[in-house]
Amino acid sequence: MDDKVALIIGAGDATGGAIARRFAREGYTACVTRRSLDKLQPLLERIRAEGGTAHGFASDARREEEVVALVEQIESTIGPIEVLVFNIGANVPASILDETARKYFKIWELACLGGFLSGREVAKRMVAREGRAHKGTIIFTGATASLRGSANFAAFAGAKHALRALAQSMARELGPRGIHVAHVVVDGSIDTEFIRENFPQRYALKDQDGILNPEHIADNYWMLHGQPRDAWTHELDLRPWMEPF
């Protein structure tokens, strides 16, 4: 059994993958999830090629039984989860006039319910650790929509607002029990294939440091985990210098 595990729920090709690689470089076993295991293979191969250890899991964060089984499998066969990063987005715009109840609920399930299920199951394990002042770190990835609801983003903003409230509540309850809970507001476009293909004008700002580099986002997640508990950050804003706020 490995001593240190970082579980990244929603390890996509950009931010989630960069976070997994960052923790793997620091000696953590990276356990990464997506709904499709095949989509994780490039990330797993890259982590291993860089000298790290990684395990991939196909898991739907909206399904309670799958989240419970995932955490149990990791804790019993790989090692104790010291870091949880919940990194599922679900950014799907729609006019409130056209939004359906089914899609609104699905976005809430992805961006909020999944965070609750993952956070609850990992927190149960962390609080039971004996002899540790800092028993673990739980980080939720937020967005601009965590702070303000823009036109055509009612579902996403509702889910992200709720995730932020969850993080606040968990931090107040679990901080005194040795668990650092943080919420990261990623405010701006990220250097991804999606932005490059669909928003070329925005992507062109990359040369001016106008979009977020996933590697630099990951550096901040690592920094949060390493903070001493007398100076824990609960909420951190990350945005390019030119991004208005």
Q: Which domains does the chain have, with CATH numbers?
A: 5-236 (3.40.50.720)
Quick one: which of 89, 202, 193 has its CA closest to 143? 89
Using the Cα atoms of residue 43, residue 32, residue 15 and residue 222 in order, give the sign of their dihedral.
Answer: negative
Answer whether 90's CB lies under 8 Å from 111's CB: yes
Answer whether 203's CB lies under 8 Å from 159's CB: no
* pLDDT per position as a tens digit, 7-41: 999 998 899 999 999 999 999 999 999 999 999 99
Tokens coding 156:
């996403």
2 has pLDDT over 80: no
In this prediction, residues 133-159 reach a mean pLDDT of: 95
The predicted structure's pLDDT at residue 1: 55
